[in-house]
Amino acid sequence: MLAASEPGEPSYTASPVIRALQASTVGGTIGAVHAELVQDETLGASEGTAGQRFAAQRSPILRAGDDLRVHVTTEEGWEEWTEVEHFAASGPDDRHFVVDAVSAEICFGPAVREADGTLRRYGSSPPKGALIQLPRYAVGGGRRGNVSKGAIRTLKSSIPFVASVENRRPAVGGVEGETLDEAKARGPILLRTRSRAVTAEDFEQLARAAAPEIARVRCIAANNEAEAGGVRVLVVPAAETVRGQVRFEDLVPPTSSLEAIRDELDSARLIGTRVIIEPPMYRGVTIVAQLRARPRADVERIRTEALERLGQYFNPLVGGPDGNGWPWGRPVPRWTPAGTRTRSRSDRPGRPSRRSSTWPTASPVRSSIAPACRPRRRSSR
C-alpha cells in the first residue's frame, strides 16, 4: 500500500517498483426495497385531448427512491415529462403529469372553462398518436415486507461472484395502503390545518404525511416545566410481527423518518413552539398463564397458540381490542383479557400447562393520551 509520508519521515529517493497487485472482495452492503421493478411499459397512444388518463398494468405504484418519469414519443425521439403534485401552477406548455399511486394511473393536465367562456389549459397534452411509456416504476410493498434480521437469504437469480446474501438489519417501513375510512378521517383535518400545526391532530397528520412508512404516531403536551409550551411527537415504526410478537430493537424509528418528520413540523409549527420527536418508552409485560388441555391433546401446540394469541393482543402494532395496536397509555388488566379468550380443541379439563413470556406493550400512566411510559428524547427542534 502506498501512502503519503508523515512529517519528519524521509521521502522516496526513487519511484518504488510495484511487483504484484492483488484484489480481494470479502463482501459489500447495499440498500434493498421490498418492491418489484417494471421497466419500459407502454401505456397506450395519446388522443391529443386534455385530461387523458393511462393506467399501468401493475398497482399500486411505490416510491422506490427515484422520481417517476413519463416518456412521450416525438419526431426527435423520446420526450421526458415531469411529475407534479397538482396542476394548479402548470401552464399550457408545461410537460407535467400527476400520478394516482393506488390505481396506478398517469393523468395529464385538464382544460377548464373560465367564467368569460375561454378555455384554460393546466399543463400540456401529448400530441395525437404519441406513445406514452413508463420507463421505470416499482410495485409491491406492504407490512409483509418488514422481515427480521437474517430472514433474506435466497438469491432469486444468479449474480457473478456473489455466493450468498443476507440482510444484516431488520427491514422496516412497510405499511398497508390507506383505507377509505382513514381517508375520510384525514380529509377534514387536512382542510383545517392547511399545512399548519396547531392542535395535536395537526401534528399527527403532518407527521404521517412526512413519513408514511411509520405505523403509529401520537402527539402529547410536554409534561415538565422545562419543556413548557412544547409538544412531544411519539413515533412507532412499522416492524415485523412473528407469532404475534415484535422485538424491542425493531421498534426504534429509522433516523431518516425522524429527520423527515422534524423538517416538516419545523416549518409548520407556530413560533415559540418546541417540538420533540422521539419513540415512546415501551414496558415489557410478563404473563404467567395456566392452561388445561383435554386428554391426548398436543400440549406443545396449545402452548404455541396461546403465546401467539397473547403476544398479538399486547402487540404495540397489531394488538389491542380493535387490532390497531395497544392503546396509548392503557393499563394492562390483571385478569385475562376477553379479546384473547378463544375456544380451541384443548378447551377442556385435563393436563395443566404453564408458560410465561414477555412482550413490549403500553403501560399504565396518569394521562389517557400519554405514551407507554415517560418517553426518551430522540431528537428535538
Would 19 be classed as within a structural domain? no
The CATH code of the domain that includes 271 is 3.30.300
| pLDDT score recorded for residue 346 | 39
Q: For residue 47, tell me if it sits in a domain.
A: yes
How many domains would you assign to the chain?
3
Contact 321, 340 (CB under 8 A): no
Give the containing element (helix H, strand E) for 190: helix 180-193
Is 31 a domain residue? no
Q: Are residues 291 and 202 in the same domain?
A: no
* Closest to 93 measured CA to CA, from 81, 105, 75, 78: 81
Domain assignment of residue 81, yes or no: yes
**Confidence (pLDDT) at 171:** 81
Element (H, E) at 61: strand 61-62
Cα(179)–Cα(344) distance, rounded to whole angstroms? 32
Query: How many angstroms separate the CA atoms of 281 and 279, rounded?
Result: 7
Query: Quick one: CA dihedral 357, 327, 262, 239, positive or negative?
Result: positive
Let me know whether 331 and 270 are in one domain: no
| 272 and 292 assigned to the same domain | no
Are 295 and 357 members of one domain?
yes
- Other CB atoms within 10 Å distance of the CB of residue 201: 16
pLDDT in tens, the chain (381 residues): 566 777 777 777 788 788 888 877 677 888 888 888 888 999 999 999 999 999 999 888 887 666 788 999 988 889 999 999 899 999 999 999 999 888 889 999 999 988 888 889 999 999 999 999 999 898 887 778 888 788 888 888 888 888 888 888 888 777 777 778 877 877 777 777 677 888 888 888 888 888 888 888 999 887 776 667 788 899 988 887 777 778 887 888 888 888 889 988 888 888 878 888 888 888 877 877 788 888 888 888 888 888 888 888 888 888 888 888 888 888 877 665 544 544 444 343 344 444 445 555 543 332 222 233 333 333 334
Domain that holds residue 287: 283-361
Task: Clarify whether residues 275 and 303 are in a common domain.
Answer: no
> What region does 339 belong to: left with phi over 0, alpha with psi -120 to 50, or beta?
alpha
Domain assignment of residue 13, yes or no: no
Q: What is the pLDDT of residue 111?
A: 92
Residue 4 included in any domain: no
User: In the beta sheet, which residues pair with residue 54?
Assistant: 106
Domain-terminating residue out of 240, 257, 279: 279
227 and 136 belong to one structural domain = no
- Res 377: pLDDT: 35
Show the cell assigned to 19: 511487483
Mention every residue, 6+ apart, whose C-beta is less than 8 A from residue 152: 32, 165, 166, 167, 171
pLDDT at 353 (0 to 100): 45
231: part of which helix (H) or strand (E)? strand 230-237
Domain membership flag for residue 216: yes
DSSP 340: G
* 164: in domain: no
Of 244, 259, 279, at which residue does a domain stop? 279
The domain boundary, picked from 279, 305, 325, lies at 279
Residues 79 and 108 in one domain: yes
Residues 269 and 315 in one domain: no
**Facing residues of 367 across strands?**
none
How would you classify the pairing of strands 111-113 and 119-121?
antiparallel
Instruction: With beta carbons less than 8 A apart as the criterion, state whether 279 and 252 touch.
Output: yes
One domain for residues 316 and 259: no
pLDDT at position 300: 87
pLDDT score recorded for residue 250: 81
Whether 249 and 304 share a structural domain: no
Q: Say whether pTM exceeds 0.85.
A: no
Alpha-carbon distance of 16 to 75, in angstroms, equals: 58
pLDDT reported for residue 350: 42
Residues 193 and 271 in one domain: yes
Residues 245 and 291 reside in one and the same domain? no
